[in-house]
């Protein structure tokens, strides 16, 4: 009987240790293997995990435009532990935009090769133009994407990449829009 209790106790301890190691492994942040990361880095986003998720939206058939979609502050990487979680994060981001009547325009190129996207609040019609990088000479590749660089009309307000809070003067009656991780003053 004593041998049975010892074996039972050891089996129980082994089971607990296995379940703990599995939960620790699931709590780690999701990263792509080196070859996949190389394939999706700067295609279109700097972060290959975001690129992978955006490509996954179209079943790898159509290259995503990138731009503001590449801004890492749009996604909660604390909850992304595998590829399906990235798919859910992108779905949640798109759902957030729809539920707030926000539309993001196509990337447009200025004569100086600067790339911009216009974000519009569908409820008020207010908009803002965001700098999303510099287009290469081929007119199709966005380089130095930030997605967090703000160029207000007239170039007066600026939120540097990584800026999470509203910057600038806000008066009563100003129209603002909150996107995941950021506030923007609209025109």
For the entire predicted model, the pTM comes to 0.63
SS3 147: coil
Name, in order, each residue with C-beta under 8 angstroms of 161's C-beta and a sequence gap of 6 or more: 146, 147, 148, 149
Burial (CB count within 10 angstroms: exposed 0-12, middle 13-18, buried 19+), residue 30: middle
Decide if pLDDT at 140 tops 70.
no
At 17-58, the pLDDT tens digits run 444 444 444 456 788 899 999 999 999 999 999 999 999 998
172 and 137 Cβ atoms separated by less than 8 Å: no
pLDDT at position 122, please? 87
Burial (CB count within 10 angstroms: exposed 0-12, middle 13-18, buried 19+), residue 180: middle
Domain ranges of the chain: 34-99, 102-185
Q: Can you tell me the distance from the alpha carbon of 178 to that of 117, in angstroms, rounded to the nearest whole number? A: 16
């Amino acid at each position: 009987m004593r041998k049975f209790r010892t074996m039972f106790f050891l089996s129980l301890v082994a089971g607990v240790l296995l379940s703990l190691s599995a939960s620790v492994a699931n709590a780690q942040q999701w990263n792509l293997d080196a070859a996949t990361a190389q394939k999706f880095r700067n295609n279109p986003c700097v972060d290959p995990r975001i690129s992978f998720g955006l490509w996954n939206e179209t079943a790898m058939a159509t290259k995503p435009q990138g731009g503001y979609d590449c801004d890492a502050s749009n996604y909660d990487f604390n909850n992304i532990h595998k590829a399906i979680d990235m798919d859910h994060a992108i779905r949640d981001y798109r759902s957030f935009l729809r539920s707030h009547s926000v539309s993001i325009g196509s990337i447009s190129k200025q004569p100086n090769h600067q790339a911009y996207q216009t974000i519009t609040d569908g409820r008020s019609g207010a908009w803002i133009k965001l700098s999303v990088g510099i287009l290469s000479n081929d007119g199709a590749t966005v380089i130095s994407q930030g997605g967090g660089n703000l160029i207000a009309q007239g170039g007066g307000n600026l939120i540097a990449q990584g800026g999470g809070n509203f910057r600038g003067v806000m008066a009563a009656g100003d129209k603002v829009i909150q996107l995941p991780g950021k506030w923007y003053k609209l025109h």
